[in-house]
Structure 1
Amino acid sequence: MLAVIRYSVPESQADHFSGQAREILDLFASQDGFVRGQVSRSVDEPNLWALVSEWEGAGFYRRALSAARMALYPLMTLMINEPSGYERVYGKG
């Protein structure tokens, strides 16, 4: 499953956000079921960031969110409130 958490980050907070997002991704990477992940920034809208991770299943992702909640908490005000979990319908590679 794919997890996409999007954030709207003012330019003045970009460096701080980037460091915190890396910490969250490192924490995710230490959890069971983690496949891969990345922190990304929009090339068209530099205030739009995404924390993208891939998991062996939704249960792994939900447990990882629970384990990372203290690290995620400081970024909650920047988070775009939308569903973050996607199941694979079709893929290649």
Structure 2
Amino acid sequence: MIVVSRFRVPECDAGEFRAALAQAHAALAACPGYAGGTVGRNVDDPTLWVLTTTWENVGSYRRALSSYDVKLRAVAVLSRALDEPSAYEVVTGDTVLNTGSPRSLG
């Protein structure tokens, strides 16, 4: 599973944001199920940042978000992400794709 979180950050805040995002990434990386990740900044628009992480499965990612250390060190910066879907399944030739359906019938 891949998580792509994009952020719009004014250039004057870039240094502080970079440090906070690195701390958030480190907190996530310490969680079980974390498989890799990177922090990046757009080459054409320096106000656009990204944090990508890869996880063994969606459950690992969701448990990571619930961990005390991630809540303490990462949630504040992760809450600044652009409001868009961020979790993606890895697709290979034989992947049975997830289907979109409501989580409840209510």
What is the identity percentage for the equivalent residue pairs of Structure 1 and Structure 2? 39
- SS at structure 1 position matched to 2:6: strand
Higher relative contact order (CA 8 A, sep 6+): 1
CA RMSD of aligned residues (A): 1.4
- Give the corresponding residue for 1:80: 82
Structure 1 stretches of at least 4 aligned residues deviating more than 6 Å after TM superposition: none
Q: 1:69, 1:50 → 2: CA distance?
A: 19
> How many matched pairs?
90
The TM-score with structure 1 as length reference comes to 0.88
Residue type of the partner of 2:71?
Answer: R
Pairing 1:66-77 to 2, within 5 Å after superposition: 66-67=66-67, 68-75=70-77, 76=79
Tell me, yes or no, if the aligned pair for 2:25 and 2:74 is still in contact at 8 Å. Answer: no
Mark the structure with the bigger radius of gyration. Answer: 2
2:60 aligned with 1:60, yes or no?
yes
Residue type at the aligned position of 2:45: E
User: What is the alpha-carbon distance in structure 2 between the residues aligned to residue 80 and residue 74 of structure 1?
Assistant: 13
Which runs of 5 or more structure 1 residues have no equivalent in the other structure? none
Higher helix share: 1
Give the drift of 1:70: 3.1
